[in-house]
């Protein structure tokens, strides 16, 4: 299957865009609630210096942004994060991280253009911040996998309990990850690519 996104860069190759050996480029998006680790995940998997748009949080967000459970967070993504990872000599992923705060969700429209799938990053300490995110993806018809970011104090739940709590169909993969490590983040992206491949495969028989 050709996984190329509709907005693959055309023109002279750049070391920061598409390696010379690559034949397929795929755009994927990392989404999730505020403070679940999206910027960390993009930064840890990227083989180039990631582009981030983090700004210091100010009193302007007081009463607007829900920081319950992440009170020590001092910065936030206001536009997007961007990184690149080669999953093989031929396959490259462009990874875009979305803003987590609802007041910036209007930017999602542009970030999802040409994307083949998404990773929903979930903090099991604050499952409720994922409900609207998952609902928006389902409304858009965007295929996604769920990655549970394992913070040190994260409670552990059986997978089926989480599936029920998040109201996920049985076919949507749920995987644990540590957004700080490249290997773990790469495994999450590989899970997404395998899931997209299964969805694209013709029905048996």
Beta-carbon neighbour count of residue 185 at 10 Å? 29
* Mean of pLDDT values over 17-25: 65
In CATH, what is the architecture of 24-56+74-200?
Answer: 3-Layer(aba) Sandwich (3.40)
User: What confidence tier does 199 reach under pLDDT thresholds 50, 70, 90?
Assistant: very high
Residue 94 CB contacts under 8 Å (≥ 6 apart), including other chains: 5, 25, 26, 27, 28, 82, 83, 84
Max intra-chain CA distance, the chain: 60
| Ranges 3-12, 180-189, 192-201: which has the least confidence | 3-12
- Per this entry, what is the length of the chain? 205
Contact 80, 112 (CB under 8 A): no
pTM: 0.78
Contact 129, 34 (CB under 8 A): yes
Pseudo-torsion of CA 109, 10, 189, 66, nearest 10°? -30
Contact 81, 52 (CB under 8 A): yes
Mean pLDDT for the chain overall: 80
pLDDT at 3: 42
Percent of the chain whose predicted confidence (pLDDT) is above 90: 53
Element (DSSP H or E) covering residue 158 = none
Q: Does position 123 have pLDDT exceeding 60, yes or no?
A: yes
* Mean of pLDDT values over 6-35: 64
d(CA 70, CA 199) in angstroms, rounded, equals: 35
What token pair was written down for 130?
A: 């994922």
- Digit-coded pLDDT (tens) for 39-79: 999 999 999 998 887 655 445 444 444 545 545 544 555 55
pLDDT at 51: 86
């Amino acid at each position: 299957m050709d996984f190329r996104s509709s907005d693959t860069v055309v023109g002279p190759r750049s070391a920061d865009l598409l390696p010379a050996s690559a034949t397929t480029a795929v755009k994927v998006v990392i989404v999730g609630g505020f403070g679940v680790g999206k910027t960390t995940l993009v930064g840890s998997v990227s083989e180039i210096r990631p582009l981030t748009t983090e700004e210091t949080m100010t009193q302007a967000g007081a009463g607007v942004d829900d920081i319950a459970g992440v009170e020590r967070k001092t910065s936030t993504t206001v536009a997007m994060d961007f990184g690149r990872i080669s999953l093989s000599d031929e396959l490259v992923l462009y990874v875009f991280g979305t803003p987590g705060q609802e007041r910036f969700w209007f930017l999602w429209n542009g970030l999802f253009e040409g994307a083949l799938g998404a990773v929903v990053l979930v903090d099991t300490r604050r499952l409720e911040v994922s409900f609207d995110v998952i609902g928006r993806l389902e409304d858009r018809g965007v295929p996604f996998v769920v990655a549970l970011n394992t913070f040190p104090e994260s409670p552990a739940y059986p997978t089926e309990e989480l599936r029920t709590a998040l109201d996920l169909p049985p076919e949507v993969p749920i995987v644990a990850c540590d957004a700080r490590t490249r290997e773990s983040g790469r495994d999450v992206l590989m899970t997404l690519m395998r899931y997209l491949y299964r969805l694209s495969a013709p029905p048996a028989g």
